[in-house]
Chain A
Amino acid sequence: MIIEFDHVSKRYEGSRDALHDINFTLDRGEMAFLTGHSGAGKSSLLRLIALIERPSSGRLFVYGKDLAKVKPRQVPFLRRNVGIVFQDHCLLNDRTVFDNVALPLIVSGQLEHAEIARRVRAALDKVGLLDKEKMNPQRLSGGEQQRVGIARAVVNRPPLLLADEPTGNLDPELSAEIMTLFQQFNQVGVSVMIASHDLALIASMRTRVLTLKQGRLVDDRVLA
């Protein structure tokens, strides 16, 4: 199991539970969508997995590791095994596409430059942006920027890929392209979890869908 939620709740100070008694598991190589209205708790759930926040109660395991036992200084090493794609891309505009994608490899600091370049190009090739490596992200279209974000998330070859509304700002055609990309990663064994409220798109993917409503997991099934 890659992810296991065991009676997990998250409460922000002075408000109702953002997540309430969440139970589910995501297996190795599985792909699942996380859906629900905005404010239903999709982002909160992903943030717990990425250790941006900690559960208020319950236990959460990622790669079989109890996240409650992960000390702050160990957090970076765990995050290196989780690729994250953001709605607003979160790219650095003061450097090239290549440097943006290379960042996770530079951060982990275990590879020589030649190997970094090889992997960055492989990731850019995968998302079809090999010819744009020297460009500034700001000069790319929204869809292209998102693909740079995806290349950055997978360049480290993490076993788990999280995406928070990755198609939020894209038109339907581009959204479908991005989703196909995620599916391709899933086909080579990467576990993928995508938060999205684009139900039409999700329905066309025929994968597992977890539905959140006001912080509760109300539905968990494969949409057909």
Chain B
Amino acid sequence: MKRRQSQQRRPSSRRDHASAHLKGVSARHRRAPRAGGLRMRLRLYVLRHAQAFIDSLGRLRKAPLASIMTIMVIGIALALPTGLYLVIKNLRGFDDQWQSATQLSVFLQKELPAARLNKLLDEFKQDAEISDFEYRDPAAVLIEFSQLADLGDSLEVLDDNPLPGIIIVQASATDTQAMTKLAARLEAKAEVDFVQLDRRWLERLYAIVDIGQRAIIVLACLLGLAVLLVVGNTIRLSIEGRRAEIQITKLIGGTDGFIRRPFLYSGLWYGLFGGVFALILINIALLAIRGPVKALARLYDDSFGLLAVDLSTTGTVVIGAVLLGWGGSWLAVSRHLRDIQPT
């Protein structure tokens, strides 16, 4: 009854609609004001994407628990390789500082006659590859050693000094290759027992760090794949939940692109929030180890600073997460939307 009344109240508007309809049928190009011009189209295009962008955020909010769980899984999966990367990066920074270490310890033959020693020191003075050197006789070395190792008393038991003299050489070259060459040359001398490159242990560390870095790349790939699958699965479930809507949208002429769009944006949101969550996790973890790291740094004369998530890492994590989220949802969408057809 009410309906009839409302119809009767607007007889003119009904006629308008009817005549508009006739026009629409007889001359489709005259259908009302349609989107004309490139600017208008572009505006509508941007508007449609903005709508899908915001709409997909609303969808996430409709199932907050599921969304939060997905976001947390993504966050944890991304925090792990990123955190390890930061540790490795800091080790590298530590290493960089020591890259300038150009010292060689030249251990001499025991009981070397003074004449041969002086001859050797003269040779060192002439050597262009040696910028500076300092000779320490066996007695000085013994004192230094006993102080360092806190072995003073036990060394007194020994009848004579078992240690050789040492020349600490400062190489003029700074690259490892030249220094290794110099070490070999000095080692070849009859007066020299062996030469130790102080940088060696750093190189070993460097090699370990290298392995660590590879391991992180592998780990990041695996966990990236996990993120892809997690997002893909979440989107798959969301597609299933909206099956009826997808069918209807297809029936009234929605293109695959139109139907795909909100799901892709959902994936993007998952990625973005997951990435942000990962950064929060990392920062919390860094805060937790701040104290011990500081203590350790003090032992090394504060030669390295605290771990920190820098801007480029932050950017990489967020952009990477967004791409993974988008990619995962793209996988699910391209796989499952095709299966849903109107019946």
Chain A positions within 8 Å of B, measured between CB atoms, are: 28-29, 50, 52, 73, 76-80, 84, 90, 92, 94, 103-104, 107-112, 115, 119, 122-123, 125-126, 128-131, 152, 154, 156-157, 159, 184-185, 187-190
B21-29, B129-137, B219-227, B285-293: which lies at the A interface? B21-29
A111-B35, A128-B4 as given contacts; A188 in contact with B21, CB under 8 Å: yes
* Category for how many chain B residues contact A: 35 or more
Q: Which residue of A lies closest to B34 (CB)?
A: A110
Contact A104-B252, Cβ < 8 Å, known A110-B44, A129-B3, A131-B6: yes
List of B residues within 8 angstroms of A123 by Cβ = 17
Question: Which residues 1-45 in B have Cβ within 8 Å of A in the complex?
Answer: 2-4, 6-7, 10, 13-14, 16-22, 24-26, 28, 31-35, 44-45
On whether the beta carbons of B25 and A190 are closer than 8 Å, the reply is yes
Q: How far is the CA of A117 from the CA of B16 in the complex (A)?
A: 16
Q: Which residues of B contact A128 (CB under 8 A)?
A: 3-4, 6-7
Tell me if B249 and A107 are in contact (CB < 8 A).
Answer: yes
Q: Which of A90, A110, A154, A184 contacts B35 (CB 8 A)?
A: A110
Residues in chain B near residue A104, CB distance under 8 A:
252-253
CA distance A84 to B118 in the complex (A): 106
Shortest A85–chain B CB gap in Å is 11
A128 to B35, CA, bound (A): 29
**CA A99 to CA B225, docked complex, whole Å:** 38
Which A residues touch B19, using CB under 8 A?
188
Q: How far is the CA of A162 from the CA of B102 in the complex (A)?
A: 87
* Partner pick for B252 among A28, A80, A125, CB 8 A cutoff: A80
Max chain B Cβ within 10 angstroms of own Cβ: one of A52, A107, A111: A107
A and B contact pairs by CB, cutoff 8 A, 8 listed: A52-B341, A77-B253, A79-B251, A84-B251, A111-B35, A128-B3, A157-B21, A190-B25
CA distance A30 to B28 in the complex (A): 18
One of B72-80, B186-194, B254-262, B328-336 at the interface = B254-262
The interface of chain B, by Cβ under 8 A from chain A, is: 2-4, 6-7, 10, 13-14, 16-22, 24-26, 28, 31-35, 44-45, 48, 244-245, 247-256, 258, 341-343
B252 to A103, Cβ gap below 8 A? Answer: yes
Known: A130-B6, A157-B24. A79 touches B17 (CB 8 A): no
Q: Which residue of A lies closest to B28 (CB)?
A: A159
- Return the 3 tightest CB-CB contacts between A and B, nearest first: A80-B253, A157-B24, A128-B3
Select from chain A the residue with minimum beta-carbon distance to B7.
A128
User: Known contacts being A104-B252, A108-B253, A152-B252, is A189 close to B26, with CB within 8 Å?
Assistant: yes
A189 to B26, CA, bound (A): 8
Q: In the complex, A220 Cα to B248 Cα: how many Å?
A: 31
Q: Are A109 and B32 in contact (CB-based, < 8 A)?
A: no
A72: nearest residue on chain B (CB-CB)? B256
B250 touches A76 (CB 8 A): yes
Nearest-CB distance from A184 to chain B (Å)? 8
Which of B18, B33, B341 interacts with A115 by CB under 8 Å? B33
Quote the shortest CB–CB distance from B13 to chain A (angstroms). 6
Check B10 against A125 for contact (C-beta < 8 Å). Answer: yes
Chain A residues near B249 (CB-CB < 8 A): 103, 107
> A127's closest neighbor in chain B, by CB?
B3
B251 touches A111 (CB 8 A): no
A63 to B200, CA, bound (A): 82
> In the complex, what residues of B have CB within 8 A of residue A52's CB?
251, 341-343
> Is the CB–CB distance between A189 and B21 below 8 Å?
yes
In the complex, which residues of chain B have a beta carbon less than 8 angstroms from the beta carbon of A76? 250, 253-256, 258
Chain A residues whose CB sits within 8 angstroms of the CB of B342 once the complex forms: 50, 52
If A122-B13, A125-B17, A131-B6 touch, whether A111 touches B34 (CB-CB below 8 Å) is: yes
Contacts of A50 in B (CB 8 A): 251, 342
Q: Indicate whether A109 sits within 8 Å of B244 (C-beta atoms), given known contacts A115-B32, A152-B252.
A: no
CB A28 to nearest CB in B, in angstroms, measures 8
Q: Is there contact, CB below 8 Å, between B32 and A119?
A: yes
Bound-state CA distance A157–B7 (Å) is 20
Query: A68 vs B10: C-alpha distance in the bound complex, in angstroms?
Result: 44
Pair B251/A159 contact, Cβ less than 8 Å: no
